[in-house]
Amino acid sequence: MNYTLHQLQVFLKIAQNESITKAAAELHLTQPAVSIQLRNLQDQFDVPLTEVIGRKLYVTDFGKEIAMAAEKILNEVHAINYKTMEFKGQLTGRLKISVVSTGKYVIPYFLSDFLKKNQGVELSLDVTNKIKVLKNLERNEVDFSLVSVLPDSLQIEKVELMPNSLYLIANSDQKTATGIQDKSIIETLSIIYREEGSGTRFVMEKFIENNQLTVPKKMVLTSNEAIKQAVLAGLGCSIMPLIGIKNELNNRDLQIIPVKGLPIQSNWNLIWLKGKKFSPVAAAYLKFIQEEKIRIIEQKFNWINVIKDVNHA
């Protein structure tokens, strides 16, 4: 037997996802690279680890046993690395955060300096939809979650990070009258929606409902990035968070249509389960956020105020 830690790591991801494609995406590798590692590991066993029926990959019972063993081995390796760092007097451990999809434009700036200062900390960051984020939190699988709409069903504590402003966005070819438009303009446009359960969709629908607007759902897309591309292509308009369209506004590929009652204001919140017992890493990160969030916002997100001032002028 001469298998490597890398082969075990790759196979564990394949077993967890039952998919070479998904494993490759999570490991940031190409599918051929993952397939090669699987084949090299399989060559060392006479019993198959996986089988393909139709176009679906299945992990055999033997493969499941190997995956469980691989997970234990990799956890022990992590423990050795942590112990080495601890011996040197460094903060060590894993920081686990789940983030709603639009939060990918926010959370890196609230992590960068902390991780640079504490190189013994390993980050596990899951960028996904709101439903999975809250499931991760409810199951206590993460230390923190980043959301823009607070959950009603969970007892949580929070740190408010920064405002989340949503504007009516169109591509640069969209013609409208000058000045601030009446809310009824939304009824005349082809509005692109996020998927059900999205925080962006929740606040957008609440705005439409509160203002008794009639807006048909002709197009529903599963991420703000997809909506942005659709708006750029001229497929419609949308009410979107400002945080994800900085470059497109600066390049004049997108425009904000000023509307009475907009922007919709919510807040980015770092949340955790009430009463959660923090690991040393999670406690250190919370302290860092509480002490440094104002500096980070002033240094990294001042452009938001500039764009707001221009569009309110």
Residue at 18: amino acid letter: E
Q: What is the DSSP letter of 180?
A: P
Beta-strand (E) ranges in the chain? 50-53, 56-59, 93-100, 121-128, 144-147, 156-171, 192-194, 219-221, 238-241, 254-256, 264-273
Question: pLDDT tens, 290-300?
Answer: 999 999 999 99
Domain 5-87 CATH assignment equals 1.10.10.10: yes
Question: pLDDT tens, 116-132?
Answer: 999 889 899 998 888 88
Residues near 206 by Cβ (< 8 Å), separated by ≥ 6? none
Pick the CATH number of 93-161+267-312 from 3.10.520.10, 3.40.190.10, 3.40.47.10, 3.50.50.60: 3.40.190.10
Residue at 262: amino acid letter: L
Question: pLDDT tens, 19-58?
Answer: 999 899 888 889 999 999 999 999 999 999 999 998 899 9
Cis status, amide bond into 263, omega within 30 of 0: yes
The CATH class given to the 164-265 domain equals alpha beta
Q: Give the pLDDT band (50/70/90) at residue 239.
A: very high
pLDDT higher than threshold 70 for residue 311: no
What's the half-sphere exposure (Cβ side, CA atoms, 13 Å) at 245?
A: 31
> What is the distance between the alpha carbons of residues 281 and 92, in angstroms, rounded to a whole number?
7
Query: What residues does CATH 3.40.190.10 cover in the chain?
Result: 93-161+267-312, 164-265
Query: Rg (Cα) of the chain, in Å, rounded?
Result: 23
Question: pLDDT tens, 132-159?
Answer: 899 999 989 899 999 998 998 899 999 9
Question: pLDDT tens, 260-291?
Answer: 999 998 899 999 999 999 988 999 999 999 99
Closest C-alpha to 237, from 195, 279, 196, 187: 187
Query: What residues does CATH 1.10.10.10 cover in the chain?
Result: 5-87
